[in-house]
Amino acid sequence: MFSPLRNPAYRHLFLAQLSALLGTGLATVALGLLAHDIAGASAGEVLGAALAIKMVAYVVVAPFASALVARLPRKVLLVGLDLIRAGVAACLPFVDSAWQVYALMTVLYVASAAFTPAFQAMIPDLLPDEEDYTKALSLSRLAADLESIASPTLAALLLVVFPFSDLFGGTTIGFLLSAVLVITATLPALSVATPKPFIQRLTAGVRLFALTPRLRGLLAISLATAAGGAMVFVNTVVLVQSGFGLGDRETAWALGAFGLGSISAAVLLSRMAASLGDRTAMLTGSVVMGAALLAGPLLATSYPALIGLWVVIGFGYSLTITPSGRTLRRSAHAEDRPALFAAQFALSHACWLLAYPLAGFIGSKAGLSAAFVVMAVLCLAGVILAVLIWPARDPAELPHSHPDLALDDPHWTDTQGGVHVHAYVIDDRHPRWPRPSIREGS
C-alpha cells in the first residue's frame, strides 16, 4: 500500500496533503465550536450557511480555475494558493460575528477550489502504473481519514489548555508546511499539447460527465455521499452540546469516531479493490449510510450510541469516496484529466451545496430526527439513480464503429465488419457513447 511513497515527488505531495489536511481538520472542529459560540442551538444554521458558501465557491470557481490556470507553472500555483489559505486561517481567531466567518471562508474556499483539482490531476502523471495509482488513491483516502481522527483527537487535547480559537493557528501552520513541501517537490512538466480554446477547456469536464454513463452514476453516488457527510459535519455539534449537554472535547471525539469508521473502510478497500469493483463498493457504502441515517432517530439518543452510529456512517462514506479517483482516471485521456477532476470537484460539491444547508435548516426548524430522515431519503435517492444510470457491466474496452472513418485510417485496429475494440473514453474521435447494439457486436 505504501509503495507509491518511494516516488520522491509523490512523497512530498502526499506529506503536503497530510499537513494541509491536519490543519484543515483543526479548522473544521474550531469552526463548528465558533458557530455554537455565536449562535448556540442554531449553530447548525450558521455552520450550514458557511459550508454552503464553500460549496458555491467550489462549484463556481473550480471549472474556471482549471481552465484559466491550465498553462500556469504548477508549483507557483500550488504554493501561492497555500499562502493565501494560511493568511486567511491566521485571521480566523479574531472573528466574532457570522458575517466575518462568511467573508473569510469565501476567500479560503475560493483558494481551495483552485488548489484541489490541480493537485489531484498531477497524481496520475506522477504514478502512471495502475497498481501504484490505485494504492495512491487509498493513501490519499487514508490521509483524509487520519485527518478525521487525528485532528479531532489533537483538538480535544489542545482544548484542555487552549481556547478553541487557538486551533486556527494550527491551520495556518499546516498550510505553510504544505507550501514548503510543494516547493521541495519535483513536479512533472505540463503537457506541450496545443491548448484548446477557453470555452472548450471550461466545458470539457462537464461534457465527459454528460456523455459517460459511469460518470453520471458517480455523480449520483456523490449525492448520497453528501447526504451522509452533511448530517455529520453540520449537526454533530448540535447533537453533542445542545442535545446531550456535553462540551467541546466530546464534539471533537464524535467527529473522530466518524473518521475511525472511514479509515477502516479505506484500509479494507485497499486490499479488496480488484475483487470488489468501484461500482459495487460505492453502492454498498451508499446503502450503509442510508440505512444508518434512517436508524438515526432511534439510535442517536445517547452519546455512546451516537459514536457507534458515526463510525458506521464514516465506514459507508469512505466506501463511496475512495474508488472515485480510479473511476475518473479510466474515463479520460491524460490531457483531459485536469478538466475532468475539476468537473468532478464542482459537480460533487453541487451535491454538498444542496445537502449542507438542508441538514442545518431541517435540524434547526424541524428537529434532528427529521434531519436524519430527510438526509436518509436524499442518500437513498442517490443510490437508486446510480443503479439506474451506471450499468452493472462496465468494461474498459468496448466494441464500436466509426461510420465516417476511412478504412485505411491508422485508428482502425483488429477490425471486423467495421467494428473494433479498445479502451473507450469520450474524445474528439469518440464523441458519444457506443449504442448497446454496437457494443454487443450485432
CATH number at residue 185: 1.20.1250.20
User: Quick check: helix, strand or coil at residue 73?
Assistant: coil
In terms of domains, do 309 and 429 share one?
Answer: no
pLDDT-derived band of residue 55, with 50, 70 and 90 as boundaries?
Answer: confident
What CA–CA distance (Å, rounded) separates 416 from 398?
14
Most confident of 19-23, 176-180, 348-352, 413-417: 176-180
pLDDT digits (tens, 9 = 90+) for 362-413: 998 899 999 999 999 999 999 999 999 998 887 666 666 666 665 656 555 6
In terms of domains, do 114 and 212 share one?
Answer: yes
Number of C-alpha atoms within 13 angstroms, CB side, residue 50?
A: 29
* Interior/surface letters 70-103, b for 16+ CB within 10 angstroms, e for the rest: beeebeebbbbbbebbbbbbbebbebeebeebee
In terms of domains, do 384 and 436 share one?
Answer: no
Q: How many domains does the chain have?
A: 2
In terms of domains, do 383 and 404 share one?
Answer: no
In terms of domains, do 319 and 385 share one?
Answer: yes
Beta strands in 172-258 (DSSP E): none
In terms of domains, do 372 and 435 share one?
Answer: no
Taking residues 415-429, report their average pLDDT.
66
In terms of domains, do 362 and 420 share one?
Answer: no
pLDDT-derived band of residue 289, with 50, 70 and 90 as boundaries?
Answer: very high
DSSP conformational letter for 187: P
Domain that holds residue 423: 398-442
In terms of domains, do 46 and 75 share one?
Answer: yes
Element of type H or E holding 110: helix 98-126
User: In this model, does residue 348 exceed pLDDT 60?
Assistant: yes
Looking at residue 284, its amino acid is T
In terms of domains, do 370 and 271 share one?
Answer: yes
Which range among 56-70, 235-249, 407-421 shows the weakest confidence by mean pLDDT?
407-421
**Cβ atoms 100, 70 nearer than 8 A:** no
User: In this model, does residue 195 exceed pLDDT 60?
Assistant: no
In terms of domains, do 108 and 255 share one?
Answer: yes
Mean pLDDT taken over the chain: 78
* Interior/surface letters 175-194, b for 16+ CB within 10 angstroms, e for the rest: bbbbbebbeebebeebeeee
In terms of domains, do 10 and 95 share one?
Answer: yes
In terms of domains, do 304 and 424 share one?
Answer: no
Grid cell of 296 as nine digits:
438515526
What CA–CA distance (Å, rounded) separates 341 from 78?
16
Grid cell of 408 as nine digits:
485505411
